[in-house]
Structure 1
Amino acid sequence: MAPMLEGCTPWPEEFVDRYCAAGHWRGSTLDDLLRGRALEHGPRTALVHGATRITYGQLNRRVDRMAAGFRLRGVRPGRRVVVHLPNVPEFVIAVFALMRSGAVPVPCPPAYRAAEVSEVALLTQAVGYVGPGTYGGFDHTAMAADIAARWPFLRRVFTVEPPGESSPYGGARTDPAGCHYFPLDSVDAPPGPALQQSAGQVALLLPCGSTSGAPLLVPRTHDDLAYQARAAAELVSLTADDVYLAALPAGSHLALGGPGILGTFSVGGTVVLAEDPGPGPAATDATLAPHAALAAVARERVTVTSVVPEVARSWLDALPAARADLSSLRLVQIGGAPVPRTTAERLAPALGCRLQQVFGGVGGPLVLTRPADPDATVLAGQGRPLSPDDEIRLVDGAGRDVADGETGELLARGPYTPRGHYRAPEHDARAFTADGYLRTGHLARRTPTGDLVVTGRVEG
């Protein structure tokens, strides 16, 4: 197995062998996934954003040329680059191009501002920043310039401007501090020889919540993230005929790989990216406004999407006035937090589709109800772990396993639950047990049928 990125904890060799033998880890990178789909499904539509439609063949070519452009501009293999974009095609293109160039993208939520982005840049020693010039009335270029002035390793800023607009700062330029600024669409060069990469290497660093306020990043390898997305796609019977609406930020765990964008790509389906919702709160969190989301479902014949409880409630409130044809929709995933039963009971009948509860974050297990589960199971709990090799324990305060029906802290280890956070040894000493189980910080109980019901968080 290739050495992990410095600052990351590898899986023990016995577990690597186990996950490979089980067929979970197949030795293919996420870049291999895109190349394969381009060969198999070149003319099929991969991405939709408003009036923009990009086929798998076009997406692969744009990724190829942007990857060469990143290398030409000094982004070297192993270097980290912050990607701070809303749900636009450039998010997908830039993330895959950085991976193809050997760099490690660090997707940050669109709601992040200077404090959070600066901390992530410092932790990762990011050499680049990819973001909008301005978005939702916020000047991202000015923010990036301020961060670059503080941290001398950040020397490349790539910006995306809305169609028909140009940056108020001009084209490519260099500021007095030596930071270089480029329009992202200028990051283009003839592709060279393909870079040989290992599926055991870190593909992305994904931010996760932290109670301390300090940034925490989860290193996801090609093998583990590809397995998660593929297994989630299989669980919901995703096919090339499915259309997935990314109504949550594209870098969030559900929209990225639960099955999300990567799972949809794994079967050759179509991803519809949430259009720019315009100014206001929706613009800062990249959550599609309810009327626009419902219109997108009707227009693109969306079959699967993911929401959080707050978004689900907003969709329910907007339904009477929307009058959208939602007959194509077959499954709505709801995660991020346990959904109130009253919301869950209303959602499936109102949308005319199945509901799937999902629990889990970027660094822990995915627990899901199954599409064939009876309504009572879907309404009552969060379901069962995604993988047959997910190992789940519920323990009391002394670390002893509790009996079924009793509440305990949820511990987990498995083929897509990393063994540590990025450059966080002190945190990980508390967050993981000696034998590699992640302490999720959530309380849960197990029902007689083996389903998990998340009941709250561990105090303190």
Structure 2
Amino acid sequence: MCKQAVSSSSNLFTPWPEAEANRYRTLGLWLNKNMFHILSDSRVADKLAVIDDNKQLTYGQLKTNSLALAQGLYQLGIRTGDNVVLQFPNRIEFVETLFALFALGAVPVMALPAHREQELKHFCTESQAVAYICADHAGGFDYRALARNVCALTQLKHVFVAGDGQEFYSLDDVKRAGELGAKSKASLPVVDNGQSLALLQLSGGTTNLPKLIPRTHDDYFYSVRESAAVTGLTNESVYLCVLPAAHNFTLSSAGVLGALYAGATVILSEQVAPDRVLPIIAKQRVTTVALVPPLANAWLQFAQKNRVDTNSLQVVQVGGAKLTSVLAKQIVAIFNCKLQQVFGMAEGLVNYTRLHDGPDKTLFTQGCPLSSEDEIKVVANDDTPVVNGEVGHLLTRGPYTIRGYYNASEHNATAFTPDGFYRTGDLVRLTEEGYVVVEGRAKDQINRGGEKISAAELEELLVGHPGISDAAVVAMKDSVLGEKTCAFVIKNKQQAYPQGVNAISNQQAITLPALRRYLREIGVAEYKLPDRVVCVEVFPTTKFGKVSKKALRETLENIQQLA
């Protein structure tokens, strides 16, 4: 269906040192089990496992379909260790195919629905993928056209399409062939090799093409199991996935995989708009949902204007970017549920506020490490430890944090310390109880004439004003100071303004002088005051759902050129 592929390699990632790997096994963290065992025989076969916008599957059907698909893919040449790019919207076929690849011992490369030719070519080339599996179309986009372009540019051997495959293999036909094959010969055994790759996740960088993150069956299964416990998922839970299911947050923190491990029901939605999704919460009696801050903000704005039934919600997880304390308080008040802040990375380390934590932690911190075996350091620029409570660079290693990116030895030399700590790029401080407070990214600072300004800090201060629902702060070039500060803000259209509140009396008054005056009145240092304010209706986002500071800087450059 495409060209002959170059053989893929399973030896392009850095394993854990043997002594540490043995310790994790001795402690019972690593079980040498294939991720497919999430669909274990102990599950109630006739319980609903997954529901999407069009259909539903029980646990028994999901397991049967995945094994049939695995058999069909095997008959067409997909083998253990082969890398396969997987790209789906939030549909049941994503879950079926993911578990089929687990069963085969093949390695899914977790592309997001928004990725296009440039990224797909990169993923196929860097991973030496032998196949690409996708939907026929979604959101008005034809993935078959993308497949044709990627085939012409890479060494892909196969393309499999869910739906109308046209000239490519139809995933339904492959599944049916697998069902027949399983009847005529012995079914494929699910091989347990915990040290082998389970999947290749993607880094969340916003300036370069994503790097590939090698996660093994041992480390990823451990993270999923522990996350399911920390997030309180049980066989009575109903987990709603509205962010891309392939994203590490919604896949494993505890996400779709954690919910299935717990025996819960997963609801996959291709919709994110509150008027489309909040009725799903009411209809399906959703108990847990994972959001990024901009989406949480949009849902809250809608809920304040409209009568919505969210009584079934027990936990709202928020991650992907720092959640301001103002928005955190609103989530708890309006949705009347528990808030769980999640601060993690596809490279490994995940921090959670615990469901029993008080507001001092859930509102003002981003949680503490998932595992007692997680090691974290907060260091200065020279890698010396900072005093507890001071801001520094976060380093980490542990039983589910990678020791190197896939096929990236040159980058690994700077991304990891000689003793295996991953340089996360995050600026944090630790509370006395060991909870993490995110202060921004190492590069998410404005150097204003030598004065360092944390974008995250200023954003938190700006959204503290009732006239602003969200803020994003970026640097702008300046010939004298080097950099100045520009604040992009979204007005709060739902907020009633108290008389005489800090020099801003109506929405039209969100101007630079007024905001600077407001910040002075609440005690903000003069050098931290924004030099420019731009009001926008919505922030651009990355494919990972985070606010795109890169796009905002480009917008600012265009404004300055027109001025």
TM-score of the two chains, using structure 2 as the length reference: 0.74
CA distance in 2, matches of 1:332, 1:429: 38
The reply to whether residue 185 of structure 1 matches residue 172 of structure 2 is yes
Distance 1:193 1:377, change over 3 A: closer
Higher radius of gyration, 1 or 2: 2
Taking the TM superposition and a 5 Å limit, the aligned residue runs for 1:73-92 are 73-92=76-95
Taking the TM superposition and a 5 Å limit, the aligned residue runs for 1:118-137 are 118-137=121-140
Let me know the Cα RMSD of the aligned residues.
Answer: 1.5
CA distance in 1, matches of 2:45, 2:404: 37
Offset, 1:128: 0.9
Which runs of 5 or more residues in structure 1 are unaligned?
174-180, 278-287
CA distance in 1, matches of 2:160, 2:306: 38
Offset, 1:51: 4.7
CA distance in 2, matches of 1:193, 1:129: 22
2:149 to 146, 149, 161: 146
Q: Deviations along 1:405-449, whole A, 9 cap, x unmatched?
A: 111100000111011111010111000000000000001011122
- Whether contact under 8 Å (1:294, 1:322) holds in the other structure is no
Give secondary structure in 1 for the equivalent of 2:360. helix
The reply to whether residue 316 of structure 1 matches residue 306 of structure 2 is no
Offset, 1:45: 0.8
CA distance in 2, matches of 1:51, 1:352: 30
Give secondary structure in 1 for the equivalent of 2:296. helix
Question: What is aligned with 1:335?
Answer: 319
Higher mean C-alpha deviation, range 120-129 or range 134-143: 134-143
CA distance in 1, matches of 2:44, 2:20: 34
The reply to whether residue 247 of structure 1 matches residue 242 of structure 2 is yes
Amino acid at match of 1:248: L
Question: What is aligned with 1:157?
Answer: 159
CA distance in 1, matches of 2:304, 2:372: 41
Offset, 1:314: 0.9
1:427 to 408, 411, 430: 411
Question: What is aligned with 1:414?
Answer: 398
Question: What is aligned with 2:374?
Answer: 390
The reply to whether residue 59 of structure 1 matches residue 62 of structure 2 is yes
TM-score of the two chains, using structure 1 as the length reference: 0.90
The reply to whether residue 7 of structure 1 matches residue 12 of structure 2 is yes
The reply to whether residue 237 of structure 1 matches residue 232 of structure 2 is yes
Offset, 1:43: 1.1
The reply to whether residue 30 of structure 1 matches residue 19 of structure 2 is no
Give secondary structure in 1 for the equivalent of 2:220. helix
Distance 1:292 1:212, change over 3 A: closer
Offset, 1:321: 4.8
CA distance in 1, matches of 2:84, 2:247: 17
CA distance in 2, matches of 1:212, 1:312: 25
Q: Deviations along 1:37-95, whole A, 9 cap, x unmatched?
A: x4431111110113522110000000010000101111122111111100000001011
- Whether contact under 8 Å (1:44, 1:55) holds in the other structure is yes
- Whether contact under 8 Å (2:50, 2:266) holds in the other structure is yes
The reply to whether residue 106 of structure 1 matches residue 109 of structure 2 is yes
The reply to whether residue 16 of structure 1 matches residue 21 of structure 2 is yes
The reply to whether residue 41 of structure 1 matches residue 44 of structure 2 is yes
Give runs of ≥4 in structure 1 deviating > 4 Å. none
Higher mean C-alpha deviation, range 56-65 or range 38-47: 38-47
- Whether contact under 8 Å (1:364, 1:438) holds in the other structure is no
- The count of aligned residue pairs is 428
Q: Deviations along 1:160-186, whole A, 9 cap, x unmatched?
A: 23xxxx45x3xxx4xxxxxxx111111
Amino acid at match of 1:389: E
Offset, 1:209: 2.0
Offset, 1:197: 3.1
- Whether contact under 8 Å (1:291, 1:322) holds in the other structure is no
Taking the TM superposition and a 5 Å limit, the aligned residue runs for 1:261-300 are 261-274=256-269, 276-277=270-271, 288-300=272-284
Give secondary structure in 1 for the equivalent of 2:333. helix
CA distance in 2, matches of 1:364, 1:71: 30
CA distance in 2, matches of 1:195, 1:271: 24
Give secondary structure in 2 for the equivalent of 1:32. helix
Q: Deviations along 1:114-165, whole A, 9 cap, x unmatched?
A: 11111111111111111122222222111111111122x202111123xxxx
**Structure possessing the higher relative contact order (Cα contacts under 8 Å, 6 or more residues apart):** 1
Give secondary structure in 2 for the equivalent of 1:459. coil
Amino acid at match of 1:395: V
Question: What is aligned with 2:208?
Answer: 213
Question: What is aligned with 2:489?
Answer: none
CA distance in 2, matches of 1:10, 1:75: 24
CA distance in 1, matches of 2:31, 2:45: 23
Q: Percent identity?
A: 39
Give secondary structure in 2 for the equivalent of 1:40. coil
Give secondary structure in 2 for the equivalent of 1:324. coil
- Whether contact under 8 Å (1:39, 1:57) holds in the other structure is no
